[in-house]
Structure 1
Amino acid sequence: MKRKLVFIVAVMLIFGLFAGTVMAEGTNKSKGEKADKFKIPSSVLDISQDNTYPNPTQDLPYLQPSKLTKELINSADVEIENPDLIRILNESAIQTSPLALGYRATIYLGQWPLNYESSETSTNWEYEKINTNYYDNRGGKTPFKIHYKQEMQKIVRGGLTAEIQDADEVKKMMLIEASKKTKLPLSFTTIIGGATKKDQVYNVPPKRLGYLYAYAPAVNEKGKVTYGEVYLVLKGSKKSIVVKNVTHQGIGAWIPVQDHVSYGFLVSETPR
């Protein structure tokens, strides 16, 4: 009986170790897959040093909440991430007195998009075609080298996939979340200047036409926005935020990757 008990315990320990190993491998694999999901492929090059149009650095509109703002945010039943609302709370000052017994006030701060919750983030490395370089080498006897040169200035714009209330504030929250997840330089507008070049060489064989296509990549962000009516409530020396009439709305957005170009090279016997 004792041997049987020892055997069962041993089997359970071995199974536990094996399960733990499998779980660890699964977790590591999951983390690896998540990291690879946003890894920049070799066909995408950084043109920040080559771009003839200097795009301004996109400063994420995140604000560090003040001590008072943190206290108010933590008192709310709904998570508050809207940087514009945080800025207003940061600029506010509330003086209360422990002797203010019976003092009571409710201040309506308006309806706000309070937070954005991401459900899916993906990349499209060929979001918008911005340029084509080509060479006809059908009469040539040796390979001809071509490289990327932007023929005309191109403005690439992203945006929300549907109309939504307080769109600018929603875009800020989506930009923060997408940048955090992908670690990519994102902006709703990016410009590729005319005559921007890259030294990467592509060979067009004899008796062939070569096409070098350039694309602006972008991130597709999907999730939901939480709206609510925000009230500042003062009771004696206590202060808090109360959120009423909470609603949710699904939304998506395309956000271009700033100063990056994806290249596709095609060789053909006939014109395309």
Structure 2
Amino acid sequence: MKKSLLVSLVFLLSFSFSSAVLAEGKQKPKIPSSVMEISKENTYPNPTQDLPYLQPSELTRSLIDTSDVPIENPDLIRILNESTISDAPLALGYRATVFLGEWALNYESTETATNWEYQKINTNFQDNRGGKLPVQVHYKQEGQKIVKGGLTAKVPEAEHVKKMMLLKAMKKTNLPLSFETIIGAGTKKDQVYNIPPKKLGYLYAYAPAVNEKGKVTYGEVYLVLKGNKKSIVVKNITSQGIGAWIPLQDHASFGFVTSDRPR
């Protein structure tokens, strides 16, 4: 009986762990074969999007832990990291409340999806209607293209919200994301596409992007000092739904079509 119970328990734990791994894996989209990286070929060198999670200092961590609302805003954490509060040996009875402002405190992601054809950036065309043999076409960017993402609605502290959404989306997808990416004129790929005789060939290039959706929480932040005790108090808490489009940097999705007639 005990052995049977133990086996059942191990099975349940294994199933739970596998389910968690699968659930985590679903968050990371598989890149289709039609999507290619063009960072080496791109004639416009995009700056690397580097937004590492800012590690709170020991003081900042102790303050954040006292808050009833999670604090993830990198800019607020940076301000707390740069602050110093000395312990006073004779601070008995000392009280102070410092208003640090109204902040976007955290972002909770509810949905992350990828549109591999977010925006068309280029078309390469070849006419083989008069030919007797197949001809080839390959990708060559005809003109510089700027692809911009952004928030889907106006919200307070928009730049802070964008940073938190970008950090969350990059962590969930493990993709190089940026709210702006540029594809330089003359960027090309060696991959060739064959156009049969008596056909027109169209090679379309698209910039992919991630659609991030979730909820941002705001609040008024106060630093409260009582003697040698320090804490963060958040008042007037509000939440708001928000979405964003975040382009995939230095990647292009290709679609090849042949036709009897001009498209």
CA–CA distance in structure 1, aligned partners of residues 212 and 67 of structure 2: 27
CA–CA distance in structure 1, aligned partners of residues 48 and 21 of structure 2: 33
1:165-217 deviation digits (Å, cap 9, x = unpaired)? 01001000000000000010000000000010001111111111110000000
Q: 2:185 aligns with which of 184, 188, 194?
A: 194
Q: Secondary structure in 2 aligned to 1:94?
A: coil
TM-score under structure 1 length normalisation: 0.91
Q: Within 5 Å, which residues of 2 pair with 1:174-193?
A: 174-193=165-184
Q: Which amino acid aligns with 1:84?
A: D
Moved more, 98-107 or 161-170: 98-107
TM-superposed deviation, 1:109: 0.6
Q: Which amino acid aligns with 1:187?
A: S
**Which residue is equivalent to 1:49?**
40
1:122-165 deviation digits (Å, cap 9, x = unpaired)? 10000000000010101111111110000000000000000000
**Which residue is equivalent to 1:106?**
97
CA–CA distance in structure 1, aligned partners of residues 234 and 79 of structure 2: 16
Moved more, 185-194 or 91-100: 91-100
TM-superposed deviation, 1:79: 0.5
Q: Within 5 Å, which residues of 2 pair with 1:1-272?
A: 23=16, 26-35=19-28, 38-60=29-51, 62-272=53-263
CA–CA distance in structure 1, aligned partners of residues 82 and 14 of structure 2: 51
TM-superposed deviation, 1:21: 6.2
Unaligned segments of structure 1, at least 5 residues:
1-5
**Which residue is equivalent to 1:3?**
none
CA–CA distance in structure 2, aligned partners of residues 92 and 59 of structure 1: 24
TM-superposed deviation, 1:30: 3.7
2:101–2:222 CA contact under 8 A, matched in 1: yes
CA–CA distance in structure 2, aligned partners of residues 137 and 120 of structure 1: 44
CA 1:240–1:33: 2 relative to 1, 3 Å: closer
Q: Secondary structure in 1 aligned to 2:65?
A: helix
CA–CA distance in structure 2, aligned partners of residues 268 and 237 of structure 1: 77
Q: Whose helix fraction is larger, Structure 1's or Structure 2's? A: 1
CA–CA distance in structure 2, aligned partners of residues 24 and 236 of structure 1: 46
CA–CA distance in structure 2, aligned partners of residues 29 and 63 of structure 1: 28
Percent identical across equivalent pairs? Answer: 69
CA–CA distance in structure 2, aligned partners of residues 16 and 93 of structure 1: 50
2:27–2:112 CA contact under 8 A, matched in 1: no
Unaligned segments of structure 2, at least 5 residues:
none
CA–CA distance in structure 1, aligned partners of residues 229 and 10 of structure 2: 52
Q: Secondary structure in 2 aligned to 1:174?
A: helix
1:237-257 deviation digits (Å, cap 9, x = unpaired)? 111111011110000000000
TM-superposed deviation, 1:98: 3.2
TM-superposed deviation, 1:19: 5.5
CA–CA distance in structure 1, aligned partners of residues 152 and 120 of structure 2: 19
CA 1:19–1:111: 2 relative to 1, 3 Å: closer
